[in-house]
Amino acid sequence: MTNPYHWLMTILLLGVMVIDAEAEIVIRRSGSSWAKIDDDGTIRIRGRSVGRFESNGTVRKRGSSVGSIDSDGTIRRRGRSVGKIESNGTVRRRGYAIGRIESGGTIRKKGSSWGSASNCCGSHGGKKAVAAVLVFFADDYFDD
C-alpha cells in the first residue's frame, strides 16, 4: 500500500517546479514592482515593453541592439567592454565592484540595498538577465 502523503508531496513539488520554470523575473524598488523580464526576454518597465534580453546575450531597446552580456558575463555597449557580471553576482564597471546581485535576489549598489529580484538569481544566467536591466535600463545603477 502506498503512502497517500507521498503522492500529495509529489504533486505539490511538481506544481512548484512548473511555477518556477515558467516564472517571469520581477525586479522591485522601494517595495514596488518596477521591472519585469518575461519568459521570452521582453523587458517591461512599469508595465510598458522597453526592450529585450535575447538568449544569445544581446540587449535591445526599441528593437535596436544597444549592447550585450557575453556568456562569461562581460558587459558590452556597442561592442566595447564596460563591465562584468560575475557568476557570484558581483557587478563590475571598468574593473571596480559597484554592486552585487545576491543568490536570494537582493540587489546591492555600493553595499546598500538598491532593490530585489525574484525568480532569478540562483544561476549565472538569471543574474545576467537582471544585470541587463540594471545596466541598460536603470539610469541610477550602472552609470554615476
* pLDDT tens profile 79-93: 999 999 999 999 999
pLDDT score for 11: 42
- Whether residue 124 is predicted with pLDDT greater than 90 in this model: the reply is yes
- Measured CA to CA, the distance from residue 128 to residue 59 in angstroms comes to 11
3-state secondary structure of 28: strand
The whole-chain average pLDDT of the chain stands at 87
Burial of 42 (0-12, 13-18, 19+ CB in 10 A): middle
Confidence at 12, pLDDT banded by 50, 70, 90: very low
Bigger pLDDT: 83 vs 9: 83
Task: Name the residue with cell 541598460.
Answer: 136
Q: How far apart are CA 38 and CA 48, in angstroms?
A: 12
Q: Which three cell numbers stand for residue 82?
A: 564596460
- Output the CA torsion 124→126→131→136 (10° steps): 130
Report whether 28 contacts 116 (CB < 8 A).
yes
Q: Which residue has the higher pLDDT, 4 or 56?
A: 56
Q: Is the pLDDT confidence value at 13 over 50?
A: no
Name which of 1-5, 127-131, 134-138 the model is least confident about: 1-5
Whether the predicted pLDDT of 144 surpasses 90? no
Quote the pLDDT of residue 143: 82
Q: Mean pLDDT throughout 113-138?
A: 96
Q: How confident is the model at residue 2 (pLDDT cuts 50, 70, 90)?
A: low
Identify which of 128, 24, 117 has the alpha carbon closest to the alpha carbon of residue 71. Answer: 128
Q: What is the arithmetic mean of pLDDT over 13-19? A: 38
User: Residue 3's pLDDT is what?
Assistant: 55
